[in-house]
Structure 1
Amino acid sequence: MNSLSRRFLSAVLLLAAAGAHAELRNLDDGEMSDVSGQDGVSLSVNFNVAPVAGDTRCTDGCGARLAIQPLNSTGFIVLDNIKGTFSFDGMSLDMVTINSGFNGDGALFNREAMKIGLTNASATNLQFTLGGANQGKVAASGLQQNNLLTYQATGAIKLTGNVYIFSNP
């Protein structure tokens, strides 16, 4: 592209950008009541968890580790050696008030929860180990972990439905 073409293209893009100017301003309550839309966030994510022998604690390489310490507990629930390809197309995040349903438990709960909606989620060649451990970090000395079950699926798994995350009362 010669110099004249570049200048012309730059001028056209500059004019187009100037025409695309939009005003950002605060809206009062009356104006907000006229606005309709949908709240929440929709995400599309695709990631692959693959072991690299030099970066893990396992000789042949192992997958990711997720350690969760429940409230008022000294131990950890562990998802260990997580491997596979995960795809979340159209995953939604939303805050909802649960005050009914759930076989009557919703009325007793009567609080907000984060709702993760899975509309088209999948995992391919999934593997993980569920266990319990005395500490969250593998690198710390004195780790004691009891593996309860190892799950492996060759092929694709489709996931749909909702996951609710509840806050501490």
Structure 2
Amino acid sequence: MPIRPLCLALLFAAWPAAAELQPLLEEELQQVSGQAGLSVSAELNFAANPALTRCPGGCGARLAIRPGNSEGFVVLDNIRGMFSFEGLTLDMVRLDSGFDGDGAAFNSGAMRIGLSDVRFDDFQFTLGGSNSATSDAAGFRQTDLLTYRSHGQTRLQGNLYLIGLP
């Protein structure tokens, strides 16, 4: 590469590094518009692990949650299939109206999870209660409450509100 184009390339590469952040005046800031929140997209494939033999054909993923100070766990077990979402949004909102009058009675903060295009393909999971977070612990016991299976594609959209947040 000749010297002159190389110098120009280095000059343009270094130019953004010389930029400096400047505070906006209140009048300038009032002209800026945007949207608060966070938008996320992902595609997750939960496959069975044949080494985990307590499930026919191997077990899928496991999520164990210990509510409060309880001794047991609520588990989503044997999670299998494809889960994907496009443009999932997270927002903090105040519920003080709507919901057939229940919003006014609630009058508190909530996290709103916007589900614009959520898909489950050939998805399954088992909801249960267990004495252990992992299935390989000594004395492991689990009571399965229900198993959900969908063959094909399931789509969701709408808003999910997590309440009880400050």
TM class by shorter chain equals 0.7 to 0.9
- Structure 1 residue 17 corresponds to structure 2 residue 7: no
Other-structure match for 1:83: 80
Other-structure match for 1:111: 108
Other-structure match for 2:139: 142
What is the TM-score of this pair, normalised by structure 2? 0.81
Distance 1:71 1:40 in 2: 29
Superimposed CA distance per residue, residues 100-148 of structure 1 (whole angstroms, 9 cap, x where no aligned partner): 2223322222221111111011010101111122332323322221111
Cα deviation, residue 15, structure 1: 4.0
Distance 2:134 2:165 in 1: 24
- 8 Å Cα contact 2:111-2:165 kept in structure 1: no
What is the TM-score of this pair, normalised by structure 1? 0.80
Can you give the 5+ residue segments of structure 2 that lack an aligned partner in the other structure? none
Distance 2:40 2:116 in 1: 11
Q: 1:62 aligns to what SS in structure 2?
A: coil
1:20-169 aligned within 5 A:
20=16, 22-27=19-24, 29-54=26-51, 56=52, 58=54, 60-71=57-68, 73-167=70-164
Give the aligned residue type for 2:115: L
C-alpha distance 41-75 of structure 1, shift in aligned 2 (>3 A): same
Distance 2:70 2:102 in 1: 24
